Amino acid sequence: MPEQVDLFVVGAGSGGVRAARIAANHGARVMIAEEYRVGGTCVIRGCVPKKLMVYASRFAEEFEDAAGFGWSVPAPTFDWPKLIASKDKEIARLETAYIATLERAKVKIVKSRAVLKDAHTVKLLTTGETVRAKHILIATGAWPHHGAQIAGIEHVISSNEAFHLPQLPKRILIQGGGYIAVEFAGIFNGLGSEVTLVYRGEDILRGFDDDLRAHLHKEMERRGIKIVTRQIVEAIEKVEHGLCISLPDHESFTVDQAMFALGRHPNVSGFGLEKIGVRLAKNGGIAVNELSQSSIPHIGAIGDVTNRVNLTPVAIREGHAYADTVFGGKPTSVDHANVPTAVFSEPECGVIGLTEAQAIDLLPKVDIYKTSFRPLKATLSGRDTRVFMKLVVDGSNDRVVGCHIVGEGAGEMIQLLGIAVRMKATKADFDATMAVHPTMAEELVTLREKTASHVRAAAE
């Protein structure tokens, strides 16, 4: 007789773990399967280890800047294996904490790949056992892809491997212009690698505000990152002292490591979804309704595998909402609008709401307030850097509908601004808020002069 559960969760990443725990708190018998490590991409090989490495990389500037404030610092040295070991220790601690949280909630954890035998039966591949489940939740995340099968693609790593390199590469190629590419460009550059970023489009971070993209591009170059746009890596050849990178319209160059960050594909294949008829969306994710139910209502899906908004806090919210809906008697949907986000590049970006271009498309009247300034710290450090801030305002009702920041602490700033934007704060509310002086964020409440105003012509 197979074991019976109310909920079987496939994948113990941030979203799956949250759904399992909340469902168990609602009284459900819950089992969760994970084939790798509990914590998933964010905890094990994503946001958390990445941020630790971002911190590590930022010390380089701190040591340099200290001189302007009277400190004399002996030439710093950096020990890559030590960083990796410390980071791994912290990740192991977090994994243990995740496991403990699940166990406290009486969720049964199985370390196995799980495949669907039919719409209510899951098979655990490590033992061959089957489990009968009233509800199944797919939370299997997404997996990096390397694009076309170019010559030498076998030499390319993804960010997954970047967390465990035996040594810091002296020279690294990073291909891609999204979150991971710009974040790792900053990490490796800060730690001392020579970084070349190759991106196929006009400018990095497509989809972000154009001024923010241009500002970050310039700041990254100021820090010594070489950015090559409108190029795609054509071939990679192993040569005596590294990897020779060929671009179609550019001189070839040699690096020690090549990393691609070209996005991720939802993990939808190889566990029987097709067989039981779970429908996929056009973008390759599992198609779900606003309650995260798939085309088979008792099979749910949350997080990156649904390819909606691929961010950890969104997956967590979706997991929580799913558990409340199915086991808490409280149907809950997640609002995917106005999700604040940060790119932990160097310097970092914080963003919420509409870009200037999106607002112009959507709204009849748009006012823009933007500024770029030298932060106070840079006056004594002598660092050549500028902060960028932009508010996008709906001209017909004065609501702030977008905010875009590049500069130290942008991620922290945007988290709080997110509340104001969600509460539909107006530009007048921003203006009425007293500044905190001296901070960088005070600029957001002291932006008095419109820098642009876009009014749609009457005929449009």
Residue in 342, 366, 403, 413 binding ligand NDP, rule: CB under 6 A: 342
Q: Binding segment for ligand NDP among 104-112, 166-174, 219-227, 338-346 (CB under 6 A)?
A: 338-346
Q: Specify the stretch interacting with ligand NDP by CB under 6 A; choose among 25-33, 200-208, 244-252, 374-382.
A: 200-208
- Shortest CB 349 distance to ligand NDP, Å: 9
Start-to-end CA span in the chain (Å): 67
Exposed / middle / buried, residue 422 (Cβ in 10 Å: 0-12, 13-18, 19+): middle
Closest CA to 410 of 196, 215, 224, 226: 215
- Helix H or strand E segment including 349: strand 349-353
Length of the chain: 460
The site map against ligand NDP for 140-179 (x = CB under 6 A) is: -------x----------------------------xxxx
Note whether 341 binds ligand NDP by CB under 6 A. Answer: yes
Q: Which is nearer to ligand NDP, 328 or 340 (CB)?
A: 340
- 92 half-sphere exposure, CB direction, 13 A CA radius: 6
Q: In the complex with ligand NDP, which residue's Cβ is closer, 94 or 133? A: 94
Spatial neighbors of 189 by CB under 8 A, at least 6 apart, are: 57, 195, 220, 223, 224, 225, 346
Considering only 187, 326, 343, 387, the residue that binds ligand NDP (CB under 6 A) is: 343
Which residue, 46 or 402, is less far from ligand NDP as judged by CB? 46
Instruction: Figure out which of the listed residues 27, 76, 81, 201 binds ligand NDP, where binding follows CB under 6 A.
Output: 201
Residue nearer to ligand NDP on the CB measure, 55 or 63: 55
Q: CA 313, CA 306: separation in Å to the nearest integer?
A: 14
Q: Which candidate in 120, 250, 437, 454 is catalytic?
A: 437
Q: Could you tell me the smallest distance in angstroms from the CB atom of residue 334 to ligand NDP? A: 16
Residue with smaller CB distance to ligand NDP, 104 or 145: 145
Beta-carbon count within 10 A of 399 CB: 18
- How many amino acids of this chain bind ligand NDP (CB under 6 A)? 23
Q: Which is nearer to ligand NDP, 339 or 378 (CB)?
A: 339
| 437 has catalytic annotation | yes
Q: Which of 116, 156, 311, 351 binds ligand NDP (CB under 6 A)?
A: 311
Using rule CB under 6 A, residue 344 touches ligand NDP: yes
99/195 with CB nearer ligand NDP: 195
Nearer to ligand NDP, 185 or 321 (CB): 185
Which residue sits closest to ligand NDP, CB atoms considered? 178
Residue type at position 11: G
Asked if 76 interacts with ligand NDP (CB under 6 A), we say no
Please, which of residues 256-285 interact with ligand NDP by CB under 6 A? 261-264
Work out how close the CB of 305 gets to ligand NDP at its nearest, in angstroms, rounded to a whole number.
12
Minimum CB separation of residue 259 from ligand NDP in Å reads 10
Q: For 240, phi and psi rounded to 5 degrees?
A: -55, -45
Is 94 an interacting residue with respect to ligand NDP (CB under 6 A)?
no
Neighbours of 423 (CB within 10 A): 8
Q: Pick from 99, 88, 76: which is nearest to 45 by CA?
A: 88
Whose tokens are 């993209």? That residue is 213
Among residues 51, 123, 58, the alpha carbon closest in space to that of 343 is found at 51
Among 137, 180, 273, 414, binds ligand NDP (CB under 6 A): 180
Would you state the structure tokens that stand for residue 408, as one six-digit string?
A: 């130290």
| HSE value, Cβ hemisphere, 13 Å, CA-based, for 350 | 20
Q: What are the backbone dihedrals phi and psi of residue 159, each rounded to the nearest 5 degrees, phi first?
A: -60, -25
CA distances from 234 to 125, 173, 184, 230, 275 (A): 39, 13, 21, 12, 37
Shortest gap between Cβ of 313 and ligand NDP (angstroms)?
9
Contact 132, 254 (CB under 8 A): no
Residue 60 is encoded by which pair of tokens? 């380089």
Shortest Cβ 147–ligand NDP spacing (Å): 3
Stretch that binds ligand NDP, among 245-253, 265-273, 335-343, 380-388 (CB under 6 A): 335-343
Using the rule CB under 6 A, which residue among 29, 200, 226, 250 binds ligand NDP? 200
Instruction: Write out the DSSP string of 92-148.
Output: HHHHHHHHHHHHHTTPEEE-S-EEEEETTEEEETTT--EEEEEEEEE---EEE---S
- 142 touches 312 (CB < 8 A): no
Give the shortest CB-174-to-ligand NDP separation in angstroms: 10
In the complex, least distance from residue 258 CB atom to ligand NDP, rounded to whole angstroms? 13
Q: Does 310 bind ligand NDP (CB under 6 A)?
A: yes
* Residues annotated as part of the active site: 437
Q: Which residues bind ligand NDP (CB under 6 A)?
A: 147, 176-181, 183, 199-201, 206, 232, 261-264, 310-311, 341-344
